Amino acid sequence: MKQDDYQGLIEQLLPLSQTPKFEVLLDKLTANEPNSAKLLIKMEIRRLMAPCNRTIDLRGKVDGECHEYDLHGKKHWLDDVAINYYYERLPLYNGQLTQGLWEDLHNTPNNFRVKHEKAKQSQQKGQGPVTDSAQTALLPEKLTFGSYLSRSESRIHYATQVLITLQSGQEVHGTTSDLSNSGCRVRVPAAFDYPPSSEVTVRFAALAKKYLDPDLEDGLSYRIIGVDQNNDSTSNAWLRLRLDTSSDAIKRALESEMASPDFRGKQDGEDKLLTLKLQSYEQSFLHHTSVLPLYFAQDKMEYVLKTRQNHSLWDYWHDERNQPVLNHLFDPQRLSLLQVEGAANSQLLLYCFYVEKNKRRFFYSASPSEMSVEERQLFWKLGAKRASWRAFKVTMSAITAADIERLQDVSPDWLNKLKTLTHVALVQDVTHHDAQQAYLSHPKPERSSQALRRFLHERNPVSQASLISSDMQPQRREPRYQYRSKVSLVHAEQGFMEGALLDFSSGGLNVALKQPFQGAKDDLISVSLDAFVKIDRRAPLVDMPYQVIRVSPKRNNIQLKLVNEAPNTRRRQYLRRLIEHNQEKLTVLDEILPDPPLVRAMHQLLLTRLTVQPYFIRRDNGVLSVSAVGINLPPSRLHRLLERAGGGRQISFYPLFGDKIHTRTHEVSRLSQPQKELIREYYVWMDMQDETVRRVHTFADSEFESDDARRKFIELAQRGGLFAVLRNRMAPLAHAEQEINPEKLAALLQRDTHKARQLEDEFAALCAYGELVDVTDEVLMRLGC
Q: What is the 3-state secondary structure (H, E, C) of 177-200?
A: EEECCCEEEEEEECCCCCCCCCEE
CA separation for the pair 160, 187 (Å, rounded): 11
Question: pLDDT, tens digit, for every residue of 453-465?
Answer: 999 999 989 999 9
How many residues are given for the chain?
785
**Domains 155-268 and 480-585 in one fold:** yes
The SS3 call for residue 467 is strand
- Region for residue 212 given its phi and psi (left: phi exceeds 0; alpha: psi -120 to 50; beta: otherwise): left
Q: What is the mean pLDDT of residues 11-21?
A: 78
CA separation for the pair 29, 16 (Å, rounded): 13
CA separation for the pair 620, 638 (Å, rounded): 28
CA separation for the pair 155, 367 (Å, rounded): 53
128 has a pLDDT exceeding 50: no
Whole-number pLDDT of residue 150: 46
Residue 136 burial class via C-beta count within 10 angstroms: exposed 0-12, middle 13-18, buried 19 and up: exposed
CA separation for the pair 183, 175 (Å, rounded): 14
Residue burial 377-399, b: 16+ Cβ < 10 Å; e: rest: bbbbbbbbeeeebbbbbbbbbbb
What does the mean pLDDT of the chain come to?
87
Q: Which helix (H) or strand (E) holds 47?
A: helix 35-48
Of 363 and 27, the structure prediction assigns the larger pLDDT to: 363
Do 191 and 83 form a contact (C-beta atoms < 8 A)?
yes
Going from the C-alpha of 263 to that of each of 153, 174, 610, 720, the distances in angstroms are 19, 21, 45, 59
CA separation for the pair 277, 121 (Å, rounded): 43
CA separation for the pair 102, 78 (Å, rounded): 11
Of 27 and 153, the structure prediction assigns the larger pLDDT to: 27
Task: Name the fold adopted by 480-585.
Answer: Thrombin, subunit H (2.40.10)
Angle of helix 707-719 relative to helix 776-783, nearest 10 degrees?
A: 120
Q: Give percent of the chain above pLDDT 70.
A: 94
CA separation for the pair 613, 629 (Å, rounded): 7
CA separation for the pair 742, 412 (Å, rounded): 24
Whole-number pLDDT of residue 496: 93
Cβ-Cβ contacts under 8 Å for 342 (sequence gap 6 or more)? none
Task: Count Cβ atoms below 10 Å from residue 209 Cβ, excluding itself.
Answer: 11
Question: pLDDT, tens digit, for every residue of 540-598?
Answer: 888 889 999 999 999 999 999 998 877 778 888 888 888 888 888 888 888 888 888 99
Residue 377 backbone phi and psi in degrees, to 5: -65, -35
129 has a pLDDT exceeding 50: no
CA pseudo-torsion sign 464, 465, 470, 473: positive
Question: pLDDT, tens digit, for every residue of 477-523?
Answer: 888 999 888 999 999 999 999 999 999 998 899 999 999 999 999 99
Whole-number pLDDT of residue 271: 65
Strand residue runs (E) in 690-749: 692-700, 721-732
Whole-number pLDDT of residue 564: 83
Do 129 and 238 form a contact (C-beta atoms < 8 A)?
no
CA separation for the pair 368, 443 (Å, rounded): 17
Q: Is the pTM of this model over 0.85?
A: no
Residue 658 DSSP code: T
Please give the order of strands across the beta sheet that includes 423-429.
Answer: 360-366, 345-357, 390-398, 423-429, 292-297, 300-306, 466-469
Query: Which residues make beta-bridge pairs with 143?
Result: 630
Question: pLDDT, tens digit, for every residue of 264-310?
Answer: 555 555 667 888 999 999 999 999 999 999 999 999 999 999 998 99
Whole-number pLDDT of residue 121: 63
Identity of the residue numbered 555 = R
Residue 707 burial class via C-beta count within 10 angstroms: exposed 0-12, middle 13-18, buried 19 and up: middle
Going from the C-alpha of 508 to that of each of 106, 203, 500, 562, 759, the distances in angstroms are 80, 73, 14, 6, 44
Task: Count Cβ atoms below 10 Å from residue 46 Cβ, excluding itself.
Answer: 11
Residue 389 DSSP code: -
CA separation for the pair 616, 627 (Å, rounded): 6
Considering the four listed CATH numbers 2.102.10.10, 3.20.20.70, 2.40.10.220, 3.40.50.1100, the one that applies to the domain covering 155-268 is: 2.40.10.220
Q: What is the mean pLDDT of residues 388-403?
A: 94
Question: pLDDT, tens digit, for every residue of 514-524?
Answer: 999 999 999 99
- Domains of the chain, by residue range, sit at 3-62+76-122, 155-268, 290-469, 480-585, 612-783
Whole-number pLDDT of residue 266: 52
Question: pLDDT, tens digit, for every residue of 194-244?
Answer: 888 889 999 998 888 888 888 898 999 999 988 887 766 667 888 989 888
Do 105 and 86 form a contact (C-beta atoms < 8 A)?
yes
Query: Which residues make beta-bridge pairs with 79?
Result: 66
Of 720, 607, 22, 751, the residue nearest 278 (C-alpha): 607
Residue 473 backbone phi and psi in degrees, to 5: -115, 155
In the chain, the largest separation of any two C-alpha atoms, in whole Å, equals 116
Cβ-Cβ contacts under 8 Å for 3 (sequence gap 6 or more)? 10, 44
Residue burial 645-664, b: 16+ Cβ < 10 Å; e: rest: bbeeebbbbbbbbbeebeeb
Whole-number pLDDT of residue 430: 96
Of 68, 80, 110, 63, the residue nearest 235 (C-alpha): 80
DSSP H helix total and E strand total for the chain: 27, 31
Query: Which residues make beta-bridge pairs with 164?
Result: 172, 202
Q: Give percent of the chain above pLDDT 90.
A: 44
Residue 559 backbone phi and psi in degrees, to 5: -115, 135
Q: How confident is the model at residue 120 (pLDDT cuts 50, 70, 90)?
A: low
